[in-house]
Structures are given as structure tokens and as C-alpha cells.
Structure 1
Amino acid sequence: MPVGPVGSSPGKNLHGRATECAQLGQMLVAARSGESRVLVLRGDAGVGKSALLDFAVTSADGMRTLRALGVESEMELAFAALHQLCAPLLDRLTDVPAPQRVALETAFGVRAGAPPDRFLVALAVLSLLSNVSEERPLLCVVDDAHWLDRASAQVLGFVARRLLAESILLVFGARQPVQELLGLPELEVSGLREVDARALLDSVTHTRLDRRIRDRIVAETKGNPLALLELPRGRSMTQMAGGFGLLHASALPDRIEQSFLNRIEELSEESQLLLLVAAAEPVGDPALMWQAAERLGVMPDAAVASGTDGLLSIDERVTFRHPLVRSAVYRAATAEDRRAAHLALAEVTDERLDPDRRAWHLASAADGPDEAVAVELERSAERAQATGGLAAAAAFLQRSLILTADASRRADRALAAAGASLQAGDFDAARRFAEVAERDEQDEFQGARALLLRGQIAFSSGLGGDAAPLLLMAATRLEPFDMKLARETYLMAWGAAIFAGQGEVIVQICDAVRALPPAEVPRPIDLVLDGYARLTASGRAAATPTLQRAATAVAQLPVEDVLRWGWVAAGAGAAVWDHEAMLATYTRQVQIVRDAGALGQLPIHITTLAVTLLGMGDFAGAAALIAEADAAAAATSSPIAPYPALWLEALRGREAEGAALIVSTIDQAGAAGQRHGVTTALWAAAVLYNGLARYEEAASAAREATANTYEPWVSAWALPELIEAAERGGDSALAREALERLTAITAPAGTDWALGIEARSRALVSSGTETDGLYCDAIELLGRTQMRPELARAHLLYGEWLRRQGRRVEARAQLRSAYDMFVSIGMEAFAERARRELMATGETVRKRTAGASASDELTPQELQIALLVRDGLSNPEVGARLFLSPRTVEWHLRKVFAKLSITSRRHLRDALEGSDRAPTPG
């Protein structure tokens, strides 16, 4: 759609677009020099976005150009626009890492396989474009982005946010904001200035207009180039002077569309039918269009002879002068004519090559319920799910539901549509379909599954208080029909209730679980569920043997179970204080999720592993994981609670950063009804203030954290903080009461970690000769674990006690060990507490900080890249881990080398000597 003089070549003589063209020109220069650029051109229909995109294409000398176009009628076909963009590059897929290549080939239907994670597909596209750009700078143009199918929009938004050091310019054109592209650099394209609008209008009018008429047209069109070109067309001077403003009540796009309609009405019947078929056929295939048109009695010779007044171009592809022409044609046609056009298109569409478009045309041709077409749409939904097009699957199922008359089938299809919508993240649609399923349910099993979906939707959309009661009711109703599904639902209900802190509901769930008949061959999930139920109903001593068996079984969960409910089952090891099981299980689960490409689940698994590393004092590894979790959450638009960051700042003892994070987490978690999040933040506060020796504040936070007695992990770990803070603050009664509660937890667990913490806590409240022995036991037990922060704190408490007993020489040895460990770990507040105690013994202590230059010099992402490269991962492997292209990894690596004053990868090990091991195996 030109916005310059008629007959001008695209991109040349664009009236009034010097600023926009200059910006695009600068971006092209940057892309040619090895820097990525992204831009969203946004503006009203006809304002000139497409002309600017054409300018970019014609100015991209020496660059390879890829184009895609969003089509309104293709919005339900998964990856349709992405396939347009990437089709010319499919011969280069062999250069893409295998898991990504398989995901993209599955998404495009090239191969069969498990449904790919859409973010793994996105990573494949990033790798593909990056690889191609190494040979030649790349320009990617996506017009009418507001009509992109959702799967393509998600992928392209992901790619756009990760471009950095590739020779790629990615430009979108869109009428309105596109959710998946929000936050990208944007340029609003508005109407032309008056002087430029007048010049454009003069260029397409044969006779000089009266100044008043010209100014009126410019004002009413608001400088919209397409309106300036289109609205005066076919009007005489008298008409423009006397009647041009009669349409002023309509929005400008409506007026432009009406102008197109006026032109359409002047065409022959054959030409109008041809336009309708073209509007209903989104592929732009001339052969397909002609075949369908002939079925409606439109002969090519007659249609060509009649012409389309320039509204339609038929070349290698069928294209409209402007998308508003397509919408004008389609909306102006009668419902009967639209159905006829779609039926003709369905009849000429090859069922083997394009069954989904054929099914969509058949659905559009139906004038009432049609079971045969509904079945075809179900098959299309299955194919869409198999290629990862969850939003498309939901759309097919929704259309199938509309065409279904039988109530029982309607309920089943509504359940399927609700499930697909939930997987696609469309919670509003999922709720609507679940309500339809409940309304149309014909048996108890359908009702139970509808209730299960409502519970899953409530949990996934915010972890609010509604989820657990709904899941509990669903599990109860599922028992007579599917006991395995019922048990899984009880476990989900328990997890939801724990997050929400709903003690009464937790008791109800556990009572229901204990009433279930025992499983003949217990699965890991049965052990976990039974262990949690015993924990609530009978206490730690009764539950620990079952939970210990569960922790062992969970460590070897099959991949499919890890992906379904591994996140909640993995807590069995933590509940019995088995750090080795925790580390092994969380490490394995993170690797499984990575290998499966289930990027949407990755943040929560990484979070649990990061917390485990923090317990070992591996701050560098945990910080790298936190950065990875943040990257994954940003890439998948799945916000996660900052639990590892909370504990990291608490252990570091940085009050400004830690206190702010604690307060914001408590506020946000409390507002969302997430009691677990509040408990975690309070535990972090207790650690922070114990490190700062502000025991009253530590005790207050720990008292609240330990009040959540139904939560089996953090509320228990907060008890040692309460004991220390209460005893140091002079409230021995509170400390002893907390010790009793702690012993009831740690004694049954029997691990070195549990017994070491118990001995350390008992020593705090003891007196006389037994105190020495308890501290020595604590140091010996914790010394056999990897829990370095806890061991260092045992040395500190022992040293503090020895100094108060007047045993200064012995105190110095313990305090020196504590101080050195705290400094090496990076626990600044506890290190300062140990330093003050050492000085009180008469020893001179120079204040030191951790000497790991990487932690000081590198950003978290740079440190993460450096650690992974140090441990042998290649740039493509690092890129796959961190959702970056290999070129961007190399760009960051050069910055790492400069900051560390090294010149190659082999020097990283020495340069990072002060940093802890990499977070997970490669």
C-alpha cells in the first residue's frame, strides 16, 4: 500500500516519513554491523506502517529478508505465521541443536512426536535465525501482527526479547498493542503533518483543489495516507465539497472500509464473488482460489475481464490492496454467500495435505449442529496439541462444541476445550468451558472432571483460596471412577492448601486420604500422599518412615511423573531433613525439565534447587540459578516468588536489600492468599536479624513463621531461628518451648543435619557441663553434611558461649573458624558478628570480605555464563540453558574476559577460583 505518489516505488518518496525512515535506516546499519535491533511500528489502519516496512525491505541492501503476514482468518491455526517466516530456512534446521530442531519440526508437522513446549520452539527459532545471520545480516518483517496466531506471536515475542548480538533487525507492524509484544521498542506511526498531507493529496488529484476543500479533507482524514489516497477516489469536486464530511460520525477505518465497499459495489457479480472467495481463503493460493470460484460459477476469463478495480492482485500469491479490503468484502457478504464460499473452499482443499483448514472451512460453512464436522474439528484439535498449538487446539474444540447437539458429547468437548485453554494459559476461556461442562454434564464422572478443571484453573491462575476446596471435592467425586486420578488430585489439593495456609482444608484432605483403600502396589505418589496425610493426622514420628521411603522413591521418578507432579512430591526429602535426597532429587528434576524442554515448569524446579544450594553456602551457584529462573520466568511470562533471593539476601546479611524484598513479598503473598510465601519471607527475616544480632526482631519474625504448623518445611526450619533469637533476647521459656517442638521434628528424622541442628539448639538453652558436649556434637554432626552455613553458625555460638564462660583461648579458635567460614561463604552480617566477638576476646581482627572477584565484577548473568563455560559447556549449550543465542553468549563472554583480565576460556577456572561450583551438572 503506497503512501507516496501513485506509481512511485515502495520506500521511495514517502511523504512526511523522514524521521521514521531515518530510524529504520539506523537500525539497518546496526544490524549490518553485528548488533540486533527490534521495533514495533504501531498505528491506525492506513497510516503507512506497511509502506515503512516496504522501505526497510528496499533499503536492506546486502541483507537477507524474511517476511510474514498476520491473517485474521488464520489466527486459530498454530504457528501459521511462524511457518511463513521460517519456511525459506528449513533446510538449515540441521544446524540447530537436536532438542530444539525436533521441537520446531514437530510444531511445523514435519515429524510426529510428543507435543513440544512452545518455548523450546521459540528457542529453536532464535537459534535458526542466529545461525543464518552469521552468514548474512537478516531483516525479518512481520506485518499485521495484531492478526498473528497466538503461538506465532508468543514465539516471535520470545525471540525479539532475546536478540542482542546477532546481525538481525526484526520489525513488526500492528494496529493495536499485541499482548505478546508488549515492552518491545515501539514507534507510533501517526498521521502526516498538514504540509505533507496536502502534498500527498495533491499528488493524486487531477485538478487543483480549492484550499478550503483540501484543508477539510486533510482535517477529516487526520493525515491518514490511505484515507487521503482512497476517500477522494471517484468523487467529483462538487461531491467532495458538498458531501465529503457526511461520513464524519464514523471511525476513520470504517470510512475507509466504506470507500472500499463503494468500489466493490460497482464491480460485476463475478468479480464480487471472486473477492469473497479470496477473502475467505487465507493462504493466498491462486489455484485454490480459482478452483473454489469455479464451483460458485465464476469463470476466470469473465472475472479477469471484469477486473477488480485494483483491489485484488493475483500473482504468485493472492493479495488485497489493504487488509481493510478483505474485511470489507467478507463483512458485506450475506451469511449464505459466506457459507457457500467456505464450502467451496473446503471441497477443493486437499484433506490429506491440509486437513485443518478444510475442517475450519467446513465449520464456517455449517448453518447448524453438524456432528461430522465437529468430529473433524476434534481431530484438528488433536493435531494442534501434538504440535504444541494449545491455543489452536482450544479454538478447534470451541468450534466443535458449537456444532454439537448431543448434551453428553457437548460436556466431553467442553471439558477438552477447558483443558486445552488451561494449558494455553487462557484462564477466562477455561472457566467458561468448565462451566459449560458442568451445565451439560450427563453423569457423575463428567461432573467430577469439570470440578477438577475448576480447581486446576483456580490454582494455576493465582494460587488463591478457592483451589484447594475445589480440588478436594473433585478428588472425592473421582474416587469411584478413577482411583489413580483421585489420588493425584488429593496431592494437588494438599499442595494448594499448603500454599494458601488453609489448615482446616489440609485436615479434611488428610482425613480423606487416610480413608482411602491402600494401593496394591504403592507408587511414589502414593507414598508421598500417605506420608503427608500421616504427618498432619499423627505427627512427625508416625509419618517419617513413610516420607523417608517416599524421598527415596521420588529421587527416581519417571520423566512423565516429574513433569506432571514432581514439584510437589519432591518435598518429601525436605520434610524429613534429608539434604542429600533433596540435592539429588532437585538436581535430577531440573535436568529432566530442561531436557524435556518444559520451560514453563523450569522456574519452580530451579527455585527449589537454588534454595538447596544456599543451604550449602553455594552463593555463586545459587545466584546463577536465580538468574536462570528469572530468565525462564521472563521468557515464559510466568512470574515466580523470589524465595531464593530472599534467603540469599538474608544469609548475606544485607539489610537494605533483604528487608525491602521481605516486605514486598509479605505484601504480595498476603494479597494473593499465599500463606506459604508469607511464612518463607518471615523465615528469611529471622535469619537476617539473627545475623545482625537484632534478636527481638528476629524472634518476632520467627514466632510468626513457626505458627504455620501445617506447613512441613519452612515453619520447621524457622524453629532454630526462634530458639536462638529468644535465648539471646532473654526469653528462655519461649526458647525451650520451641526446642520441644523442634526435637519432635528432628529426632524422628535422624539425619546428621537434623540432629546437628537439634544439638546446637539444645546447647543454646542448656547450662553446665553438658553445653560443651552439645556444641561439640553439633559441630561433628554438621561437619559431616554439606551445610556450611549451619556449621559456621555452630562454631559462632560455641565461641560466643566460651567467651562468656571466660575461656578466651578456646573461644578464639571457634570464633576464628566461624569468621573464616562466614567470609568465604559471603555471610557478611554473621561474619561481622563473629569479628566483634573475636575482638571482645582481645584479638585484633582486620575486617575482610569475600575475595571472589567474579562475584564483585560480574553481573549475575555474566557469572552464570562464566560458570557454565568453565565447566565445559559450549556456547550453544549455554545459550540453550539461558534462552540466548550462541552469538549473544559469545558477546557476554567477551565482557567476562575483559572484566577478569583473561583472554581465553581455559583461564576461567583460575579466574573463578573464589566462586563455588556450578549449580547443576551440564
Structure 2
Amino acid sequence: MLGRDDESELLESLLRHAAEGRGGGAILHGEPGIGKTALLSHATERAAGFRVLRAVGVEPEADLAYATLHQLLLPLLGRAHELPDPQAQALRVLFGRAHGTPPDPFLVGLSTLSLLSLAAGEKPVLCVVDDAHWADRPTLKTLAFVARRLDDEPIAVALAARADEGHSTELPDLRRIPLAGLEPEAGRALLAGRAGGRRLSEGEQDRLLAVTGGNPLALLELAGRRIPPEGTPEPPAMTDRLQRSFLARIRARHVESLPLLQLIAADGSGSVETIEKAATSMGIAADLLHRAELDELLTYDGPRLAFRHPLIRSAVYHSATGNRRVAIHRAFAAAFDTPVDQHRHAWHLGQAAVGHDEHAADQLEHSAEQAALRGGPAAAMASLSRAAELTVDGPRRGRRLWTAAHAAAQGGFTAAAAELLDQAEREPSLEETDRISVAVMRAIVAEFAGSPDDAMDLIKPWIPRVLRIDRRRFAPTVAMYGNLGVRANRPQAWADLAGWLDEIGPAPDDSDDPEDAMLLLLRNAGRARTGRDPGPAVRDRAVIESLTDPITMTLAGSITRALGDHELSGRLFRNAGQLARNSGALGALAWNLEYQAADEISRGRLGLAEAHAEEGCQFAAEVGQPNTACRNRGLLALSAAIRGRADAGELASGVLAEASDRDLADAMFYARRALGLIELVAGRHREAVRHFGAVGAWDADAPPDLVMAIVPDLVEALVRAGERDRAAAAAARYAQWTERIASPDLGALAARCQALVRTDGGAYAHYAESLRLHARSDAPLEHARTELLFGEQLRRDRRRSEAQEHLRAAAETFRRIGALTWAERALGELRATGESARTRAPEADTLSTLTPQELRITLAVGEGLTNREIAGQLFLSPRTVDYHLRKVFQKAGITSRAELMRLVLAERSA
């Protein structure tokens, strides 16, 4: 590899690390002919002892979902049956070997990782993808998913791609290796070693190196051609003219074969049988496919053939006139005549269409449905976009545009989705339900990556109408409005919902439809939050729990939490997360994990909360949900503050800055609460008041949920800062806010607030009531804080024995949940009563020493899952699960899964 020592070493290092079980990926970037393919070949030659899997991206298949992945995995598909059933079925459906539920793209990623890991159990694996800029986007997303999970796998991934052509290959989890032209010394060595041709003079070599910029392929291709003298007006044959050089050589040697070569170049599938069928229909002799004349241009791999160099293929394809290409694509549309090739048939038909063509548009739309079934949102987007172009103006054109946008949003192509939605909205004959769907889609994009306020404004005008058109179909949209009202700190949403739902009159209370039950919950929450009688509750909880969509179920959990039913809301959050995991719906899971993390913080399970939030951050980044990632980071900061970690303030400040830029009221709430708790436990009460108070002022008639949720913290800080009047006013407001919500959690906090602001003996009764209600709930952190405050009050009143009882209980609970600084505060109060005994330090708990990933795996083992089942749940490979499990055994000092299950049970019951 002349002049490529550094690049070769990087690739060889990648192979060495993979052989040692520490895999990774790299992508070679550069212009055509710069040496990317040669470096991939070098890596393949150095991969002794590896199983090498190869694929090449081809332009006609750039929008066919998973076409490149199919090439890559084809040698392994015979082992798909060894994967867990959902993963095996995903691959069978994906590659047309079975019918079934459409696999989510991230289930495809997990299936690919598991299949590669399975093969790597025998020998390390090297995956090589050339011309990755023409690989379809679902394949690139899958390879990115895999690359992020290779730290503990003997798998290497090496891609090569041109810059600024085809699909974007900016894959941050693959090391980028940019290729420049050869240095002069290496370029001269390359020219000296070329076979045939006259030897160039030193001056000619210098001129050639100058005009080619050291591009290796350009050096070799142009070495035998006349180079215009320097200073003449004739431009030199630069790299962008290489295609002409290829074509000139082909015409000189294979002019009679050019029609056949043009056919092969337009195909993309590489199927000899299909090419022969298309050639016959066009009257082109295909016998040369089986002769040696074309071997310098084509390479054969079993029943498939491809051009030896992509530039040759590109030159040949673009040598055909527009009419000729139309005829070729029409021939292939006829050749792909089996059900399994429906998507190729439709794509070629669309390429052959000129002007409006409803038949081709119908075929493309049907092809998009098939692409969706195979988990290909990018292919569905491309097919539907082309179908819309071929459709005469009218309702169908608008519908195809917004369904293309829907596919784009599913695939994470936010900019493309916005552009398609703009086009759809400009359609004058777009039907009302389609306009509503466009607005809802815009709101979803805004919720994940834009402004929650904008999302609310987009759907608000439509909600009264959708409740009359089809309330069950649009129930998730209505619930989304209420959820956004909480997130955006806009309490008017509750009044809006109560009014709209009262006006239309939801279904009877005994309806067995889960969407009706959710609307009833929304109405009740709206009434309760606006100071009215919430009305009858849903009679059968099983109805609301029968929802089957993870996002809708998460929304239902949010509503039940607003009504104070923390038990049901937690169950809905967990079940929704499980549904998302089982279906591989990583986007829904990323969003759901924030709710699970917040719920676990309220239950004092900080390790599990951090595991959820960290996983949510990772998945949100993968699916293009920056708002979701920010919110999960806010919860990580809040948990760190409760634990008393030294970096909690820095984490919270970072989240606060980002959330302020994004106008995310909920993430700002998490960050402000974290900063306030840090100051509160440290005794800096005025600083705590500043942070708690900065969450926002509240409207007199409809206080925002986020503001009221922080009031118990604010009341404590105000009392400790000597501002008892302000604390009493806040406590009264909180009591009024909670009085229509039958929740022991909220009731306990309201009683604690009243105890804090009392200056007479009546405080004891309120503390006792608070502890009684805490005993009926699952909120150990707040329970322990009430014990601590009551103990402090008793100590100040010189009732030491009683104070010690409550302070010991507080210190033990803080220790158990890992709230170190709070435990130290309780122990300090306990020592002030004259008791010197100390409880165990929080670090002594085994589970608290585990990383979030190890904790997730440990808890899954505690549920009795196998390594393969855990891998499927956590989007890892079984090998990675096994690696982390060994580390857990080492930390816990155990040797069996049975011991680990007993440890989990003991920790959970502590």
C-alpha cells in the first residue's frame, strides 16, 4: 500500500483489537479513485483467521430498504433460526422469507448484532462495505447501531464512501479515516510500478501528479494519455473527468457490448437470471455474460455479478440517453415479476415513468406498504415521494405526501419530513382528516426535537373537531395535548380538556374500550386540576391496561399519575416499556424511559432510575430525539443530587443551560430541583429558595403541575430561611391543589407542609398524619424526609427519645436508597440527640456498586431471564450480556445465577 502506511496501520489495529474481543468500526472517506477500495482489500488480506462478510452499495438500490444489509448477511442467514424467535422472525420478514408484523428498525439492528455475534463465536468477523454512500439508509442505520455495541465483541466493521455523494455516511460511532492524494514520492513509485506503457520523464510525472492531486486511480488511468502542457488554455483531465476516461476505454474495446453493459449497470440486483430476462425483452444478446470478454469489467460471485469498479458502472449507466434508460427500467420492471420482487418492480416502474402515471404511482404506494412491512421507512419515503410526483393534483397526492413524511419521521429524517409536510399542506384538495394528520405529525416532531409549546399550538385547534370525527382514533392525540400541557408548564390545557370532553360527553363509564377509558381519565384529570369534582373513576382498571401501543399506554400512565394513582401509573409505564422492548420500538422506548426513571426516583430506587435514564439518553440519541435525551439527563442530574454525588451540580447546570435553549420546562424543573436539593441538604436555604422559586410563578386559577410539584421542597427551604409567611401561603396553595386528588403520596406531602409552617403544638398532629399516609404509599425518599423533619422538630423540643426513633428510621431509609448526604444529615441530627451509633454506609450495598448497564442486566437475571432474553430486552448481544454478568459476579463475590437472584430479592425486600 504505497503511501498509505498510517491508514493501513489504523485498519490493522482495528483487526487486532477485534481479534482480542474489543471490536469497533472505521469508515474511509474520499473522492473517487483515491484508494478506498484498495485499502478495504488490504484489510481483507490482513484478516487472517477472520470470517469476512462483504457488500457493495449500488446506486439503483440506494432507496431499497436493507438491500445492502441483505448482501452482507446472506452467508449467515442460514443460522437465523438460532436467534431468539422475535429476532429470527424479524430477519425472515425483512428479507421476504416470511410474512408477519413489521420489524422495528432497531429490532433489525439487534437481530443483525446477534447474528454477527453468533458467527463471531467461532472466529472473529470482519464486515466490509464498499461504496457505502450508495448503501440504503436503513442499512447504514443498522450498521451504526451495531458499531455502537462492539466494545465487547470480536467484530470489526470497515466501510468506504465517497464524500458529498449519495447518502450521508457521517456515522459518529465509526472512526473516520479521510484519504488525501498520495505524496509525490509514493505517486512516483506507483507510476514506476505500473504494467506496460512508456516510462514517463520526471517532468511528465511532476505534471501528472499536479493535475491529479495524487489520486492513485487518476495517475494510473491518465499515465498513458496526453497531458496538456502547463500554461495552455486546454484544461487537464482532472478527477471529475475520470468517467470519460473509463467510457473511452470501454468504447474502444467493448463497443458492441455497451447495450448489455448499460442494462447491467441499471440493474443493481446483480441477478444474472433477471438481467438475461430483461435483455431478451429488449432484443439484446446476453450470451456475453457467460464469456471471458467482459471479465476485465465484471466480476462474478456465484449467481451474481457486479462491475469491478463503481466508476466503470457509473460511466456506463450515464452513457445511455434518457429514453434509453426509460426503456431499460421498463424492461426490468417486467423482469421483476415475482411477489418477493414487488419493491424492485415498482421502483423500476417509477424510474421508467414520464409525467403523471397513476399506475406507476399505485405500484410505488403498494411497494411502500411492503417496505414498511419489512421495516424500511427510508424506502417507503422514497417510494411514496416518487408516487406523489407521478400523481395528478388531488386528495391522493396530498395523502401520499404526508404518508411519505410519516415514513421520513419514522426513519429519523426530520428535515425531509418537514419538507414533505410543507408540500402536503400546499395541496389545495387535502382532506380534513389528512390535514389533522399533518398537524399531529408536526407536533410529534416538535415534541421530540423542537418546542413543546409549538407542538401544543399545532394540535390545539383540531382537538374539538377530532373528538367529533373519531374520538377513539384520535384519543392519543387528545392525551398528547394534556401531556404537553404538563411538559410546557401550561395548566390551561387541563381546563381546555375538561371543557371539550364535557361538551362531547365521553362514552359511558362502563365502556370496555381502552381509548374511551383514557378519555374519561383525561376528563377527570382536567376537572380535578381545575378545582372541580373529578367525577366517577374508570370502573375496571384492566380496561386502561389493555392498551397495546406503548406511547398511548405511557400517555395513559401520565394521566393516572395526574389523578394521584401512582401505583397504576407506574405499572402502565413499566408495561409500556416492556411492549416497546418486545417490539423493538426503540423510539417509543427512549421516550417511555424518562417516565420510568421519574417514577423510580419517586419510589427511591435511584440505581434503577439512573439505569432507565442513561438507557433513555442513549436510545434518544440514536433515534433523533434531542429533547428526550435532555430530559433523561435532567433525571440523571436529579438522582445524582439526591445521592450527593460531587458532580451533581455540574450535571444539573449543564442540563439547565441546554433545557433553557430548547425551552423545555420539564427538563428545567428536573435541573432546578436538583440544584435546590443540593443547597437544601447543605443548609444553604436561601440558595435553595432561589432555585425552587425559579421553576416559575403559577396562575391563581390553574397552577402548573411542575410548579406545584416543587412546593413541598420550597416550603421547607422557606421555613429554614425564616420566611414562614411565604411558606404558609405556599403550603395553603398546595393543600388546595391536592384536595380533589385522592392520593396518599400527595396527602402526605400536604400534611408535611402544614406541619412545617405551624408554630404551635399542632405540628405534631400534621407530622403524624403525614407519616400515616406515607405508610400507604411507595415513596421512601419523601417518607424519610418527613421522618427527618419530625425528628429535628422533636429534638428542638427536647423530646430526645422520640426524636431518635424517627431520626434512626430516616437515616436507615436514606442509607438503603443511597441518598448519602441526606443520611449524613440524619446522622448528624442523631448525634445531636446524644446517640453516637452509626448506621451502615450507603456504599456497603452490593447493587449500588454496579454500573447502570450491570444493574439492568442484574435485575433482568432476578426476573429469571436467560442471557439471550436479556440481550433482546436491552438491545445487546448475548456475548455482551455474558461479559457484564461476569463483572457482576466478580463485584458481588458470587459464582451462580441462583445466588444473584437471591441477592436481587434480598435487596428489593430491604
TM-score (ref. length: structure 2): 0.92
Structure 2: distance between partners of 1:318 and 1:232: 29
Identity of aligned residues (%): 36
Which residue does 1:209 correspond to in 2? 200
Which residue does 1:260 correspond to in 2? 246
Does 1:48 find its partner at 2:35?
A: yes
Q: Say which of 69, 86, 100 aligns to 2:73.
A: 86
> Are residues 344 and 805 of structure 1, via their aligned partners in 2, closer, same or farther at CA, if it must alter by over 3 Å?
same
Q: What is the CA deviation profile of residues 597-620 of structure 1, one whole-angstrom value per residue up to 9, with x for unaligned ones?
A: 212211222222222222222223
Whether the 8 Å CA contact 1:853–1:914 is kept in 2: the answer is no
Structure 1: distance between partners of 2:591 and 2:188: 58
Q: Say which of 172, 189, 197 aligns to 1:182.
A: 172
Structure 1 residue 289, shift from structure 2 partner:
2.3
Does 1:448 find its partner at 2:428?
A: no
Letter in 1 for 2:257: S
Letter in 2 for 1:288: T
Structure 1 residue 772, shift from structure 2 partner:
2.1
Which residue does 2:129 correspond to in 1? 142
Does 1:885 find its partner at 2:877?
A: yes
Q: Say which of 527, 541, 563 aligns to 1:552.
A: 541
Structure 1 residue 295, shift from structure 2 partner:
3.5
Which residue does 2:223 correspond to in 1? 232
TM-score (ref. length: structure 1): 0.90
Alignment of 1:458-469 (within 5 A): 458-469=446-457
Alignment of 1:713-862 (within 5 A): 713-844=705-836, 849-854=841-846, 857-862=849-854
Does 1:399 find its partner at 2:386?
A: yes
Alignment of 1:88-107 (within 5 A): 88-107=75-94
Structure 2: distance between partners of 1:757 and 1:883: 39
Whether the 8 Å CA contact 1:394–1:420 is kept in 2: the answer is yes
Does 1:328 find its partner at 2:322?
A: no
Structure 1 residue 381, shift from structure 2 partner:
0.6
Structure 2: distance between partners of 1:487 and 1:903: 50
Structure 1 residue 681, shift from structure 2 partner:
2.7
Structure 1 residue 92, shift from structure 2 partner:
0.6
Which residue does 1:296 correspond to in 2? 282
Structure 1 residue 911, shift from structure 2 partner:
6.6
Corresponding residue pairs, total:
896
Q: Say which of 132, 138, 142 aligns to 1:155.
A: 142
Structure 1: distance between partners of 2:687 and 2:542: 40
> Are residues 891 and 156 of structure 1, via their aligned partners in 2, closer, same or farther at CA, if it must alter by over 3 Å?
same
Q: Say which of 412, 429, 433 aligns to 1:425.
A: 412
Does 1:617 find its partner at 2:591?
A: no
Q: Say which of 21, 35, 44 aligns to 2:8.
A: 21
> Are residues 247 and 196 of structure 1, via their aligned partners in 2, closer, same or farther at CA, if it must alter by over 3 Å?
farther
Letter in 2 for 1:891: Y
Aligned to 2:97, what secondary structure does the other structure show?
A: coil
Structure 2: distance between partners of 1:314 and 1:131: 28
Letter in 2 for 1:211: E
Whether the 8 Å CA contact 1:157–1:180 is kept in 2: the answer is no
Q: Say which of 338, 345, 349 aligns to 1:362.
A: 349
Alignment of 1:371-520 (within 5 A): 371-442=358-429, 443-479=431-467, 481-503=469-491, 507-508=495-496, 510-519=498-507
- Flag structure 1 segments of 5+ consecutive residues without an equivalent: 1-13
Whether the 8 Å CA contact 2:608–2:852 is kept in 1: the answer is no
Q: What is the CA deviation profile of residues 875-897 of structure 1, one whole-angstrom value per residue up to 9, with x for unaligned ones?
A: 22222232221112222233333
Which residue does 2:553 correspond to in 1? 566
Whether the 8 Å CA contact 2:494–2:527 is kept in 1: the answer is no
Q: Say which of 581, 594, 605 aligns to 2:592.
A: 605
Which residue does 1:282 correspond to in 2? 268
Structure 2: distance between partners of 1:814 and 1:221: 82
Q: What is the CA deviation profile of residues 95-117 of structure 1, one whole-angstrom value per residue up to 9, with x for unaligned ones?
A: 10111112222221222122111
Structure 1 residue 524, shift from structure 2 partner:
4.1
Q: Say which of 182, 195, 214 aligns to 1:192.
A: 182
Structure 1 residue 554, shift from structure 2 partner:
6.8
Whether the 8 Å CA contact 2:518–2:544 is kept in 1: the answer is no
Q: What is the CA deviation profile of residues 184-206 of structure 1, one whole-angstrom value per residue up to 9, with x for unaligned ones?
A: 22333332222221121122252
Aligned to 1:182, what secondary structure does the other structure show?
A: coil
Which residue does 1:581 correspond to in 2? 568
> Are residues 247 and 449 of structure 1, via their aligned partners in 2, closer, same or farther at CA, if it must alter by over 3 Å?
farther
Structure 1: distance between partners of 2:190 and 2:176: 26
**RMSD value, Cα:** 3.0
Whether the 8 Å CA contact 2:63–2:379 is kept in 1: the answer is yes
Structure 2: distance between partners of 1:889 and 1:575: 37
Q: What is the CA deviation profile of residues 309-348 of structure 1, one whole-angstrom value per residue up to 9, with x for unaligned ones?
A: 9344467433223212222222332211111111122222
Whether the 8 Å CA contact 1:217–1:244 is kept in 2: the answer is no
Structure 2: distance between partners of 1:543 and 1:124: 50
Structure 1: distance between partners of 2:705 and 2:584: 29
> Are residues 244 and 259 of structure 1, via their aligned partners in 2, closer, same or farther at CA, if it must alter by over 3 Å?
farther
Q: Say which of 70, 73, 87 aligns to 2:60.
A: 73
Structure 2: distance between partners of 1:485 and 1:518: 14
Letter in 1 for 2:545: Q
> Are residues 827 and 40 of structure 1, via their aligned partners in 2, closer, same or farther at CA, if it must alter by over 3 Å?
same
Which residue does 1:220 correspond to in 2? 211
Whether the 8 Å CA contact 1:414–1:434 is kept in 2: the answer is yes
Q: Say which of 683, 686, 689 aligns to 1:696.
A: 686
Letter in 2 for 1:160: A
Q: What is the CA deviation profile of residues 352-387 of structure 1, one whole-angstrom value per residue up to 9, with x for unaligned ones?
A: 341211111111111211111111111101101111
Whether the 8 Å CA contact 1:862–1:896 is kept in 2: the answer is yes
Q: Say which of 685, 694, 697 aligns to 2:675.
A: 685
Which residue does 1:11 correspond to in 2? none
Aligned to 2:157, what secondary structure does the other structure show?
A: strand
Q: What is the CA deviation profile of residues 482-529 of structure 1, one whole-angstrom value per residue up to 9, with x for unaligned ones?
A: 333444433223333432334556655554443324335484444544
Structure 1 residue 287, shift from structure 2 partner:
3.1
Letter in 1 for 2:653: V
Which residue does 1:645 correspond to in 2? 636
Q: Say which of 312, 326, 331 aligns to 1:344.
A: 331
Structure 1 residue 850, shift from structure 2 partner:
0.7
Letter in 2 for 1:888: T
Q: Say which of 127, 149, 152 aligns to 1:165.
A: 152
Q: What is the CA deviation profile of residues 733-764 of structure 1, one whole-angstrom value per residue up to 9, with x for unaligned ones?
A: 21221222222233333333232222222111
Aligned to 1:125, what secondary structure does the other structure show?
A: helix
> Are residues 44 and 662 of structure 1, via their aligned partners in 2, closer, same or farther at CA, if it must alter by over 3 Å?
same
Whether the 8 Å CA contact 1:535–1:543 is kept in 2: the answer is no
Whether the 8 Å CA contact 2:514–2:545 is kept in 1: the answer is no
Whether the 8 Å CA contact 2:144–2:173 is kept in 1: the answer is no
Structure 1 residue 670, shift from structure 2 partner:
2.2
Q: What is the CA deviation profile of residues 638-677 of structure 1, one whole-angstrom value per residue up to 9, with x for unaligned ones?
A: 44212431331232234x4222232222222222222222
> Are residues 183 and 268 of structure 1, via their aligned partners in 2, closer, same or farther at CA, if it must alter by over 3 Å?
closer
Aligned to 1:187, what secondary structure does the other structure show?
A: strand
Structure 2: distance between partners of 1:344 and 1:244: 49
Q: What is the CA deviation profile of residues 783-832 of structure 1, one whole-angstrom value per residue up to 9, with x for unaligned ones?
A: 23222112211211111111221222322222222222222222222223
> Are residues 715 and 96 of structure 1, via their aligned partners in 2, closer, same or farther at CA, if it must alter by over 3 Å?
same
Aligned to 2:671, what secondary structure does the other structure show?
A: helix
Whether the 8 Å CA contact 2:523–2:534 is kept in 1: the answer is no
Aligned to 2:152, what secondary structure does the other structure show?
A: coil
